Amino acid sequence: MKRQKRDRLDRAFSKGFQAGAGGRSRELCPYSHVDSRSQWLGGWREGVEGRANGLFTK
């Protein structure tokens, strides 16, 4: 049985979260479509917030 792919917006959010938690710049957002870009940036913000609160270390 094939695994079902996750929603593209969920994927954009999680990739943004990983980028933010990893300390990457928000200027490196790979999405140009408005919806995907806003989801990626939302994930990035949460990742940066978590990193600032000490939840992640480099």
With a cut of 60, say whether residue 2 has pLDDT above it.
no
Residue-wise pLDDT for 22-50, tens only, equals: 999 999 999 999 999 999 999 999 999 99
d(CA 35, CA 16): 13
pLDDT of the residue at 57: 63
Alpha-carbon 13 to chain mean position: 4
Tracing tokens 């990742």 back to the chain, one arrives at 47
Q: Where are the domains of the chain?
A: 10-19+34-50
Q: What is the mean pLDDT of the chain?
A: 88
Higher pLDDT, 21 or 57: 21
pTM of the model: 0.82
Q: Which are the contacts of 23, defined by CB distance < 8 A and separation ≥ 6?
A: 51, 58
